[in-house]
Amino acid sequence: MNNKWSFLPAVAALALGSGGGLPARALDTGKTASTEKPAWVQKLNVGPYELPDLPLKTNRNYAHTSPEVRPYGGVQPQQRFFLQQLEYTGPGRAIPEPEHLDSVKIGFLGPIMPTVSVATGGGSHSVESLGLMMLRGAKLAIQQANAEGGYQPRRIPFELVVHNDNGLWGASGNEVITMAYKDKVWAILGSIDGANTHIAIRVALKAELPWMNTGDLDPTFIETNIPWVFRCCGDDRQQNYLLIDYLFHKRGLTRVAIIRSSSRYGRFGVREIRDSCRRLGHPVLVEMAYNGGMKDFKLVLDRVEETHPDVVIHWGNGPDAARVLNAMRARGMNQLFCCSDRAVCEEFVQLAGAHAEGVICGYPWNPERKDPKLAAFRKAFQAEFGVAPDTYAAHAYDGMNMLIWAIRTVGLNRAKIRDALAYRPDPWPGVTGDIPFSAALDDAGEVFLAFYENGRWHYRSRAELGLPPLPRDQAPPVQQTAQR
């Protein structure tokens, strides 16, 4: 599938209606599009065989890992990874901007159309609804950017080039090749499925194409060490650490059982839960996997129930989480039920009904935050699409605005677009909150726990949960000029 949408400013203004657009200053888009470029942006203008004379981000601690669940049991390893910012050391920064363009194309790869997948033995993802919300968030960002004048100062409209992520590894890679060499996009936003995205970003590495991920929370996504890859959403690793910290130290629950989807999402999503429990001296009692969409959980729950857990942690899609929860409660299992962020959705609440009360989920941001940018985004999204935005829409909106900002800031040069995102010194002021990139180019912002209480979700930070703060993560930047 390949749809190309180009929104001219007048059309975008009509589509949003009066008051729908967000001012450029509120989004931090276009601030440096003309002559007001900070000194660090000027340093990105280097020759084909030079590197920017800018310090690299460094972290003392990877992914906010608390000392008690850090690997190796307190023994200092010979080498630690992901603590120093990745560099792109190849050529490309001196390639001139093309003279004649009808539009500035940005690619989108996401599961928006169901297909049959040999890899999954049936439906491609079962997350097409999430992909469509992600697409809407990206589309709204493009519309608003064009209402502000598009690519400034040339006044060229941005164009969203949409491709379906259909669940096949090879097909996803082919879609990236098409976008990189045929569509000639300047960056890509996507996707959700961890397995497909892992393949797609390796193609982007070969094509030297900036990639912004907004929906794949697989911790290993960013651990591929690809300098062209960014993620603007807190991952499952960070949510795992917060959830285990709360369960063990605040609730005193140490007998943990896991029920998860047999997909890559479920398998990698609980990895740090499993490791953290072991390092805290209370290994997971049982880990049971199921096929997505399954209705009968008798065998799974038989195995879980016989271990007498204090808490059951589910990692999978929201509807599956509700079916597992209902099956537990029907057989009298009243343990605390915790889930991944995918359960924070209307489908889960409707299917679970009264059983949803008391459920706890990890969550990458706080939708209850009082922020004019967030309120304006919700208003514009509702006016445009007739529904409220979810987390996939909000993070796609932030990710697309980051790409638009980078293009406006440094121009049409893929290497410099990548550099603008990697070297940006201050957090991005997104509708999902401030987004600071770690040395691994991952979102190092705060994650939350979502509690379903009295018929709605409430979001609480580490401080609000009464948990001690994590060790200071940011180390002084490292100047690499002497090593270049």
81 Cβ contact list (under 8 Å, min separation 6): 62, 223, 225
**What residues does 451 pair with on adjacent strands?**
360, 458
The per-residue pLDDT for 34 is: 45
**Token pair of 453, please?**
């209480």
**Residue 121 binned pLDDT confidence (cut-offs 50, 70, 90):** very low
Residue pair 317/126 in contact (Cβ under 8 Å)? The answer is yes
More confident site: 290 or 15: 290
Cα torsion angle, 283, 289, 292, 294, sign: negative
Among the listed residues 305, 256, 307, the one whose alpha carbon sits nearest the alpha carbon of residue 282 = 256
Identify whether the C-beta of residue 391 lies closer than 8 Å to the C-beta of residue 341.
Answer: yes
Answer for the pair 302, 272: CB distance below 8 angstroms, yes or no: no
Residues with Cβ within 8 Å of 300's Cβ and at least 6 positions away in sequence, in order, are 259, 288, 290, 324
With 90 as the cut, is the pLDDT of residue 406 above it? yes
pLDDT in tens, 72-110: 777 778 788 888 898 999 989 999 999 999 999 999 999
Residue 292 has a pLDDT of 87
Rounded CA-CA distance 66/58 in Å is 17
Residue 169: predicted pLDDT: 63
Name all contacts of 176-180 with Cβ < 8 Å and 24+ positions apart: 176/107, 176/109, 176/200, 176/203, 176/204, 176/207, 176/209, 177/203, 177/207, 178/2, 179/107, 179/109, 179/209, 180/204, 180/207, 180/209
The H-or-E segment that residue 358 falls in is none
Q: What distance in Å separates the CA atoms of residue 193 and residue 169, rounded to the nearest whole number?
A: 10
Sheet harboring 211-213: ordered strands across?
A: 2-6, 158-164, 104-110, 188-190, 211-213, 229-231
What distance in Å separates the CA atoms of residue 277 and residue 282, rounded to the nearest whole number?
5
Give the residue-averaged pLDDT of 405-422. Answer: 97
Task: Reply yes or no on whether the pLDDT at 375 is more than 50.
Answer: yes
- Nearest CA to 337 out of 271, 434, 412, 257 is that of 257
Assess whether the previous peptide bond of 191 is cis (omega < 30° from 0).
yes
Which of these, 435, 482, 425, 430, lies nearest to 85 by C-alpha position?
A: 425
Specify the pLDDT at position 144: 98
Element holding 102 (H helix, E strand): none
Least confident of 114-123, 125-134, 192-201, 460-469: 114-123
pLDDT > 60? residue 31: no
Q: Which domains does the chain have, with CATH numbers?
A: 2-51+87-234+368-445 (3.40.50.2300), 237-363 (3.40.50.2300)
Least confident of 66-75, 333-342, 402-411: 66-75
Q: Residue 36, CB half-sphere, CA atoms under 13 Å: how many?
A: 7
The pLDDT > 70 percentage for the chain reads: 86
**H or E segment and range at residue 40:** helix 39-42
- pLDDT number for residue 337: 98
For the beta carbon of residue 100, count every other beta carbon within 10 angstroms: 4
Name the average pLDDT for the chain: 87
**Bridge partners of residue 189, in order along the sequence:** 108, 212
pLDDT digits over 222-277, tens only?
998 899 999 999 999 999 999 999 999 999 999 999 999 999 999 999 999 999 99
Handedness of CA 402, 408, 414, 417 (dihedral sign): negative
Phi/psi for 394 (5° steps) reads -65, -45
The predicted structure's pLDDT at residue 81: 86
188 beta partners = 107, 211
Strands 188-190 and 104-110: parallel
Q: What is the pLDDT of residue 198?
A: 86
* H or E element at residue 224: none
Tens of pLDDT, residue by residue over 389-401, are: 999 999 999 999 9
Find the range with the poorest average confidence among 164-168, 239-243, 364-368, 461-465.
164-168
pLDDT tens-place string over residues 140-154 = 999 999 999 999 889
